[in-house]
Amino acid sequence: MNEQNQHNNREKLWELIKDVRYTMISHVTESQEIHSQPMTMLNSEQMNEDQNLYFIMRDTNDLVKAANTGRTQIGLSFAKPSDGIYVSISANAQISTDRILIEKLWNPWAENWFEGKDDPSVRVLIAEAESAEYWNVTDNKVTQLFKALKGGVTGEAGEPDAEHKKVDL
């Protein structure tokens, strides 16, 4: 894939998820189970970031433990049903204690969970996106409702119009 396509894919992905602050992050546990937990994405447009997603967490978080023991493959799921946006990202997790990065990401929300940005338990999960799949429903709500009702009457399901794409990042 050429650099321009990669850049376009990343821009499209960012447009879809930039207003979706909450994500479910999945990883594989020591017992080979898939575990997911909600997290708040800390990226902002001011960061000029097009590949990594950032999350602040405690050093005791299961995601930190997984990444530190070599289980670095994670999945991130974003959804904004009101806008018909659904995104799944496959990423590689890295854990950072970089004070400059923590300073850049720090916000009033984090104050509720830590004893300040110098708290020794603060970690940053850096999710380096490798690939993604997204669905962007383009039908408006009335059209979706009409298709559902028509399907109920005719017995033929009407699929909503949606842009669906798998992309390498």
* Torsional sign, CA 26, 28, 32, 38: negative
Which pLDDT value is given to residue 144? 44
Express as a percent the part of the chain with pLDDT over 90: 57
Mean pLDDT, rounded, for 8-20: 87
Which pLDDT value is given to residue 58? 96
Is the Cβ–Cβ distance between 106 and 118 less than 8 Å? no
Confidence of residue 21 (pLDDT cuts 50, 70, 90): confident
pLDDT tens track for 44-70: 766 666 679 999 999 999 999 999 999
This prediction has a pTM of 0.82
Residue predicted with more confidence, 152 or 97 = 97
Longest CA–CA separation in the chain, Å: 62
What are the C-alpha distances in Å from 8 to residues 13, 38, 54, 107, 121?
9, 28, 21, 29, 37
pLDDT at 99 over 50: yes
- The closest of 93, 163, 165, 161 to 132, measured between CA atoms, is 165
What gap in Å lies between CA 16 and CA 135, rounded to an integer? 9
Which pLDDT value is given to residue 90? 97
pLDDT tens track for 114-151: 999 999 999 999 999 999 999 988 755 444 444 454 45
pLDDT at 161 over 50: yes
To the nearest whole number, what is the mean pLDDT of the chain?
86
Architecture of domain 3-168: Roll (2.30)
| Domain residue ranges in the chain | 3-168
Is the Cβ–Cβ distance between 56 and 105 less than 8 Å? yes
Which pLDDT value is given to residue 43? 85
Which pLDDT value is given to residue 142? 47
Helix or strand run (H / E) with residue 74: strand 73-80
